[in-house]
């Protein structure tokens, strides 16, 4: 009995030291705070961008989504990025279902398969390409 326990601990320790991750690890999910977007604002709404960068040492993959507070998916992409590389998705026009006000509140959700070291944010840019609001994912 003691020998079996020792073998299990030794095997897990060896895998951990080699950098292996548990096969059943749940995806990590990061969320930004919601931001308000107004497509008809004087500043000239241009885009909302959700970006992720891999700050770890191994490649990472997952999904990047921009979601309205009512749950409507505005944009979603899958990503696979090497260390030091980023990916993102943008919304440049709001769905017709939001009209006539063209105002919405949305947040960014980033999932990372098997966890990992990533940073993510939601950015609102005006027509001139200037950032007017940022929300960091946690």
CATH number, domain of 32, equals: 2.60.290
Distance, in Å, from the CA atom of 83 to the CA atom of 77, rounded to the nearest integer, reads 19
Mean residue pLDDT of the chain comes to: 80
Reported as a pLDDT band with limits 50, 70 and 90, residue 7 is: very low
Specify the pTM.
0.75
- The pLDDT confidence band at residue 38, using thresholds 50, 70 and 90, is confident
81 assigned to some structural domain: yes
Task: Enumerate the H helices of the chain as residue ranges.
Answer: 2-17
Residue 44 in any domain: the answer is yes
Asked if the structure places residue 6 within a domain, the reply is no
Contact 118, 54 (CB under 8 A): yes
- Cβ-count burial 21-51 (b if 16+ within 10 Å, e if not): eeeeeeebebbbebbebebeeeeebbebbbb
* Domain total in the chain: 1
What pLDDT is attached to residue 74? 92
> For residue 128, what are the contacts with CB-CB under 8 A and spacing of at least 6?
44, 46
Range of the domain at 62: 23-136
**Mean pLDDT value of segment 68-87:** 95
Confidence of residue 9 (pLDDT cuts 50, 70, 90): very low
Is residue 1 a part of any domain in this protein? no
Compute the half-sphere exposure of residue 32: CA atoms within 13 Å on the CB side of its CA: 30
Q: For residue 13, is it within any domain?
A: no
């Amino acid at each position: 009995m003691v020998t079996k326990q020792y073998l299990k601990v030794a095997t897990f320790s060896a895998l951990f030291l080699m950098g292996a991750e548990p096969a059943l690890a749940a995806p990590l999910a990061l969320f930004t705070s919601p931001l308000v977007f107004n497509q008809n604002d004087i500043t000239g709404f241009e885009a909302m961008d959700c970006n992720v960068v891999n700050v770890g040492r191994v490649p990472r993959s997952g999904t990047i989504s921009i979601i309205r507070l009512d749950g409507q998916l505005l944009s979603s992409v899958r990503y696979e990025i090497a260390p030091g590389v980023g990916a993102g998705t943008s919304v440049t026009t709001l769905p017709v279902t939001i009209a006539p006000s063209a105002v919405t509140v949305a947040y960014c959700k980033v999932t990372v398969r098997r966890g990992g070291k990533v940073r993510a944010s939601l950015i609102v840019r005006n027509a001139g390409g200037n950032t007017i609001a940022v929300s960091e994912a946690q």
